[in-house]
Amino acid sequence: MCGSRKLVLCTIAIVVLDQLSKLVVLRYLPGIVVINSRFAFSLGPSVSGVVIIVIILTLLALFLTKYYKKSKNLENILVVVVASGGLSNAVDRITQGGVVDFIRLGSFPVFNLADALISMGLIYLIIETLWPRQRKNSV
């Protein structure tokens, strides 16, 4: 099982790395930045302060649920990845007035590292939930 301290350190590392990537882009490539005040991929209405608080509390509840619940290592890691991405985007909403997006792939909406981690983590978590792998008992 992944230790709780490792999960907390992983969360901090993901948030710090995502925030650093955004700071670098804001400083050195400001022309490619989009400040997104809406939900994922610029969908929906602008996000208010109340919604930001709800997002942070939901992420905290998700993290604490996994923190106190004994579950598989992979599930813990995936929840940490998703929660960390959400937390980092919440930090943007508080400090920048919206999420700092800067990755462009063709006509796909602009996104950032946290968005990619959230999306990949959720997809993998859904796959693991619907079609769990058979794991050998480790000795």
Q: Which helix (H) or strand (E) holds 66?
A: helix 49-68
Torsion of CA 87, 82, 84, 101, to 10 degrees: -60
How many Cβ atoms from other residues are within 10 Å of residue 122's Cβ? 15
Of residues 25, 77, 115, 121, which has the active-site annotation? 115
Q: Is 115 annotated as catalytic?
A: yes
Of residues 101, 111, 112, 121, which has the active-site annotation? 101
Return the SS3 of 132. coil
Return the SS3 of 69. coil
Contact 27, 87 (CB under 8 A): no
Q: Is 18 annotated as catalytic?
A: no
Q: Which residues are marked as active site? A: 101, 115
